[in-house]
Every structure is written in structure tokens, then in C-alpha cells.
Amino acid sequence: MGITSRMIPTEDASARKREIEEKLKQEQETLSFIRENLEKSDQLTKGMVSILSSFESRLMQLENSIIPVHKQTENLQRLQENVDKTLSCMDHVISYYHVAKDTDRIIREGPTGRLDEYLACIAKIQKAVEYFQDNNPDSPELNTVKARFEKGKELLEAEFRSLLTRYSKPVPPILILDAISVDEELEVQEEVVLEHLPEAVLQDIICIAGWLVEYGRNQDFMNVYFQIRSNQLDRSIKGLKDHFRKNSASSGILYSPAIQTKRKDTPTKKAPKRPGTIRKAQNLLKQYSQHGLDGKKGGSNLTPLEGKDDVLDIEIDSYIHCISAFVKLAQSEYALLTEIIPEHHQKKTFDSLIQEALDNLMLEGDNIVSAARRAIMRHDYSAVLTIFPILRHLKMNKSEFDSTLQGTAASTKNKLPTLITSMETIGAKALEEFADSIKNDPDKEYNMPKDGTVHELTSNAILFLQQLLDFHETAGAMLASQVLGDTYNIPLDPRETSSASSYTSDFNKRLLSTYICKVLGNLQLNLLSKSKVYEDSALSAIFLHNNYNYILKSLEKSELIQLVTVTQKKAETSYRELIEQQIQMYQRSWQKVTEHLTDRNMPVFQPGTKLKDKERQVIKDKFKGFNDGLEELCKIQKGWAIPDKEQRDFIRQAQKKVVSDAYRAFLQRCANISFTKNPEKYHKYRPEEVEEMIEKLFDTSA
């Protein structure tokens, strides 16, 4: 047991030793392998170094051979480029010496029909001029190309003028009327485009204008432009005026027939509204005649409105349409001008372009004012009616007019306001003098209507005032512009007195109402004075009745009463009271007839009692007085006139009742009285016959 235990450790040590020896052997083999590989790597490195060294040597040899060749090639290329550039410059320079010759034919033939080619030639000449100026300013070639350039520019200017002259035509009147017409039944208005130049021609003109501005250094073409276009603008407006003179009087068509063809959905469109003119007065006169309100001519220093020549009406319509045409054409001209004329010259050129047409329109307006002034001096106050439609149209279109002339000279923009002021001044003067003439119209016995009908002064005054309805805003502003508030004792609001333009619409309406009331008041006073010319107070009453009734009915039919009641609330009632007063005054004329039928001086008797001679004579005198008075009044008053049938019938019926009732009562009282052996001698008329006689009063045809 002791021996075994000693042997085990010895075996373990021996095994451990063998294991270590084995590992050592393996490590030695690995180390040997590594050494061998390092030796091989060193050999390969040395070989690679040797190869690289050899390659470097060869590259250095190649570089030394190639670089000199490259430098020589680069120098040759540079020389070649210099030679090419020199040759090109020589060709370019030489070409400038041939420009004049090369472009001679095209320049001589001009730009017509080949503007692009012509401008290309001009560009070549211009470059030649610049070259010689910079490089050889003393050369004769410079003068040659300069002369050629100036010639080319002259021909371009001539072409500009030629194109404008050849293709600028007046706008046809029908097209203008289409452009300015307004159809109230169409919600969306079809805008009419005014084409002044064909598109191709316009582009050529724009091209030439651009060249002349940029290269030609010439502004003369702008003068040429405005002169030619100004002439066409003026001719267009004159053509429209001639169109009115030729066609309006016969056909009454104030707009283009072309409008009808465009409106397939409305083949029966009504013509645009015509401006109110003196023809309205004639129509009113006919209207009142149909209603039994017309009066016979008496003696008035007022020129009657009836019978005015339609030529004046056409001239007014023509002028109004020419104003609208000028605005539309001027706007179109400005649109065309902006495409051709440089921006900083557009306003000045436009100002010059419109001067002739504008001056002619303003001159015509001044002539209208002068004609109105002369007529007013002759006491023809109806002439002011020519002012109203024109003035209203000018004021309605003033904002558009001002917008069109925006940017023009102050003298140009002030022309329309000056004309408006002149018209307002002469119009206000005419209104004032008309009111005074109504007041001061003389009482001439031989000119008074013999039948007591409406005096011409009354009919003229009412017809004149009728026109103020259509132009009430214009008339009110006309009065306000002259600051007539003090004249009419109208209280002014401080805000309304700063300037004429600040007058409110309500104030203008009150002012016009007061003016109308003043005219009516003057008329009433004058009629009262004229009525005293009649020796017969009954005829005087009939005269005043007819005139007052005519005034009232006229006011009511024309709605003038609404204007009157603005300041005179009880005007209608006042006239009715005046009419009733005159009826009562007339009825008094029958008292000398009916007084014979009263009980005054009538004898008192008992039935069956024989009358004394004196008592019988009283009854005879009453019958005779009644018969003679009735015959005399019927004979006289049969020739008097009451044009208003309603009033005529009313007065007849009232008079028949009064006389007939009194006559019947008288006959009844005398029925059982024997006052004569020949009763038929005194009892000449039955009550029915008396009524028939009264029924024939105021009827000259009976």
C-alpha cells in the first residue's frame, strides 16, 4: 500500500512534461513557418521595388521626350487661332466698306412691302456709321454711310406718313351711333370696337415708330401722327353731323340700323330716348287742344312755342350725339395712341390730337349760347329750351369727359366747364327775364281774346314751365349756380352756400318750385290786370275763369303740381277757390235778368180781383225786362267761349237751374192773373225754351 501511493504522482509529472514538450515542438514549427514567410515577403518586396524603380526611370525618359513636342503643338494652335481671328476681322472691316453698295438698291426702293428687310439694311448701315466714327472718322466712307442712313430714315418717316394717311379713314356714322347707343332693354350692353387701322398696318406703324424713337432720334413723326389722326377725328364727328342732317328729319332714326340686325331676340326694339327739345312743347299744345284746354292767340310779347322749325330740333340732337361721339372716339384714339407713341409723349400728343375736334364742338356750343342770348334779347324765351337738353347731357357726361381728358393741359380740361358755366348763366338769365316778362306783358285791348278764352300769355307760360319737368334737375342747378336764393327768399343751409356744386338736390328742387310759383304769381297778377280791359265784368270773369282753369288742369296733367306744392302746399285749393270766385262773378251777370222775376214791386191782389192799369203795367214790364234781358245775354254770351267741356257744362247747368226755377215760379204766380189781352206777346218763352237758350251759351257753332 505504501509503494502504490508513491508511484501515482510520478506518472502525472511525466505526462505533464510530455504535453509541454509537444506544445513546445508545435510552437517551434510555427515560428519556423513564420520566418520562412518573412524571408519570402522580403524577397517579393525587393523585386517590386526594383520593378517600380525601373518604371519610374522609363517615365522620366518619356516625359523628357513628350513635353517639348506638346509645347510646340500649343504654339502652333495659338498661331492658327490668331490667323483666323485676323482674317475674320479683316472680312468684317472690309464689309463696312461695301455696306453702302450692298444696301443701295433696297434703300432706294423704300420699305413698302418689306419692312423687316429694310430695317435689317438700316441696321447694317447704322453699324457701319458707328465703326467709321470710332475707327476712321476722317474717311470718306463715313459721309457715304451717314448719307445713306439719313436717306433710309427719311424713307421710314415717309412710310409712316403714307401708311397713316392711306389707312386712316373717318369712322362711319352708323358705327359711331352703334358705339354710343344705349338700349335700356338690354341688361348687358354689347361694346362696339372702333378699329381705326388694319392689324398688319398697325404693327408696321408701331415698328416704324419704335425705330424712329430708338435709333432715328426723331420726334417729328409724333406731329405727323397727331395731325393725321386729328383730321380723321374731326371728319368722323362732322360725318355724324351730316348724317343727322340728311336722315333724321325724314326718318327720325337717331341710331344705327345695324343695331336692329344684331338684336334677333328683339326685332321691334324701341329707339333710344331722344333728348327733350322744343318739339315737346308742340306735342303738349296738341294734347291740351284735344282736352279742350287750348287757348286762342292773344297779344303777348312772348314768341309762341308752336310752329318751331324741326331743323333746330335736329341740330340739338346732332350736337348732343356729337358730344357723346367725341368722348367715345377720343377714348378710342387714346387707346390707339398708346401703342404707337412713347409713354412720356402720349398725353401731350393726345392733347394736340383732340384740339381741333374739341374746339369745333366748343365753338358750336358757344354759337348755341350766342343764339340763345340773341333770342332772349328779342324776348324769345323759348330759345332757352335749346340749352336745357344740351346742358343736361354735358353735365351727365362731364365725369367721363374729364376722365377722357385726364393728363391734358389745363386749358383743354377747362373748355367744357367754361361752356357749362356759359349755358347755366344764359339759362338762368332767360328764366329770370321770362318771369319778368310774364309780369310785365302789356295789356293791349286789341290783342285780348274777344271770346274770353285762354290768353296766349297763359298757354306760352304753362308750356314753357312744362319743359322744366323734363329738365327739373338741370333747371334747379341752373338757378342754384347763379346763387339766386336771395332772389327767391329761400333759407340757405350754410353747407349749401359754399359753392354751386354743393347745392343739394332738395334745395335745387325748392328753388325751382319757388321759381315756378313766382312765374305763376306773376301770371295771375298780369291776367287780373288784363281782365280789366273788358268792359263787361261777366266776360272778365269768364276770361279769368278760363285762364285759371287752364293753369290748374295743366299743372295737374303735367305733374307740375308736385313741384309747385313743394313750397306752396295749398296751391291747388287756391286755384279752385279762384275758379269758383269767377263762376260766382259771372253768375251775377244774370241778376239783371232774374231780378225781373222777383216779388219786388209785384202787386198784391186777390184772386178774381181786377188789376189796375199801373199794376198790369208792372207785370208787363217784368215780362218785358226778363225777355229782353234773356235775349240780350244769350246773344252776347253765345259768342263767349269756355273750352273746358266739364266746366262749360257745369256753368250751363247751374245757370239753367237758377233761371229756370225763378222763371217757373214767376209764371206760376202770374198764371191766374189777367194783365193783358195778348199774353203771348209777353209770355214769349216756355221754361224749356229758356233752358235751351242757356244750353247754347258759350257755343259759337250753335
What's the pLDDT tens digit per position in 448-466? 899 999 999 999 999 999 8
For residue 270, the model assigns a pLDDT of 36
pLDDT in tens, 34-55: 988 988 888 888 888 888 888 8
C-alpha cell at 285: 299744345
Residue listed under C-alpha cell 522609363: 58
For residue 230, the model assigns a pLDDT of 95
Give me the DSSP letters along 421-477. Answer: HHHHHHHHHHHHHHHHHHHH----GGGS-TT----HHHHHHHHHHHHHHHTHHHHHH
pLDDT band at 479 (very low <50, low <70, confident <90, very high): confident
Specify the amino acid at residue 292: G
C-alpha cell at 197: 387701322
Residue pair 460/304 in contact (Cβ under 8 Å)? The answer is: yes
Average pLDDT of the residues in 283-312:
44
**CB atoms < 10 A from the CB of 573, how many?**
10
Q: How far apart are CA 465 and CA 208, in angstroms?
A: 60
Q: How far apart are CA 374 and CA 381, in angstroms?
A: 10
Which burial class, exposed, middle or buried, applies to 310 when counting CB atoms under 10 A from its CB (0-12, 13-18, 19+)? middle
Residue of 648, 649, 446, 690 whose CA lies nearest to 542 = 648
- Inform me whether the pLDDT recorded for 308 exceeds 70: no
Greater pLDDT, 203 or 294: 203
For residue 485, the model assigns a pLDDT of 40
C-alpha cell at 147: 448719307
User: 248-257, 293-302, 402-411, 693-702: which has the highest mean pLDDT?
Assistant: 402-411
- Inform me whether the pLDDT recorded for 324 exceeds 70: yes
Positive or negative: CA dihedral 76, 77, 80, 82? negative
User: In this structure, which long-range contacts are made by residues 575-580, counting pairs with CB atoms below 8 Å and at least 24 apart in sequence?
Assistant: 575/548, 575/551, 576/552, 578/524, 578/544, 578/548, 579/545, 579/548, 579/549, 579/552, 579/647
**CB atoms < 10 A from the CB of 346, how many?**
17
Residue listed under C-alpha cell 354751386: 500
For residue 310, the model assigns a pLDDT of 59
CB neighbour burial string for 90-105, b if at least 16 within 10 angstroms, e if fewer: eeeeeebeebbeebee
Q: How far apart are CA 325 and CA 358, in angstroms?
A: 11
For residue 666, the model assigns a pLDDT of 87
3-state SS assignment for residue 649 = helix
pLDDT band at 121 (very low <50, low <70, confident <90, very high): confident
Residue of 691, 643, 463 whose CA lies nearest to 560 = 463
For residue 671, the model assigns a pLDDT of 74
Q: How far apart are CA 85 and CA 411, in angstroms?
A: 63
Three-class DSSP labels, 204-246: HHHHHHHHHHHHHCCCHHHHHHHHHHHHHHHHHHHHHHHHHHH
pLDDT band at 84 (very low <50, low <70, confident <90, very high): low
Average pLDDT of the residues in 289-307:
42
For residue 263, the model assigns a pLDDT of 35
- Inform me whether the pLDDT recorded for 640 exceeds 80: yes
C-alpha cell at 130: 458707328
Least-confidence region, from 5-9, 238-242, 489-493, 651-655 = 489-493
Crossing angle for the helix pair 2-109 and 140-167, to the nearest 10 degrees: 80
Least-confidence region, from 158-167, 195-204, 270-279, 380-389 = 270-279
Least-confidence region, from 35-49, 51-65, 482-496 = 482-496
Greater pLDDT, 85 or 188: 85
Q: How far apart are CA 314 and CA 64, in angstroms?
A: 109
Quote the pTM value: 0.70
Residue of 187, 139, 464 whose CA lies nearest to 300 = 464
pLDDT in tens, 427-449: 999 999 999 999 888 877 768 89
Cα angle, residue 27 at apex, residues 23 and 32 outer, rounded to 5°: 150
Q: How far apart are CA 61 and CA 248, in angstroms?
A: 111
CA atoms in the 13 A half-sphere facing the CB of 655 = 29
Residue pair 386/312 in contact (Cβ under 8 Å)? The answer is: yes
pLDDT mean across residues, the chain = 80
Question: Torsion over CA of 197, 200, 206 and 210, rounded to 10 degrees?
Answer: -160
pLDDT in tens, 507-554: 888 999 999 999 999 999 999 999 999 999 999 999 999 999 999 999
Q: How far apart are CA 44 and CA 173, in angstroms?
A: 111
Q: What are phi and psi of 697, to 5 degrees?
A: -65, 150
* CA 196 vs CA 166, 211, 239: distances in Å: 12, 22, 15
Which burial class, exposed, middle or buried, applies to 624 when counting CB atoms under 10 A from its CB (0-12, 13-18, 19+)? middle
- Inform me whether the pLDDT recorded for 8 exceeds 70: no
Specify the amino acid at residue 629: G
Q: How far apart are CA 358 and CA 333, in angstroms?
A: 13
pLDDT in tens, 180-192: 886 444 445 567 7
pLDDT band at 269 (very low <50, low <70, confident <90, very high): very low
Residue pair 620/679 in contact (Cβ under 8 Å)? The answer is: no
CA atoms in the 13 A half-sphere facing the CB of 663 = 27
- Inform me whether the pLDDT recorded for 667 exceeds 70: yes
For residue 11, the model assigns a pLDDT of 77
For residue 100, the model assigns a pLDDT of 60
Mark out the alpha helices in 110-137 (DSSP H runs).
Answer: 115-135
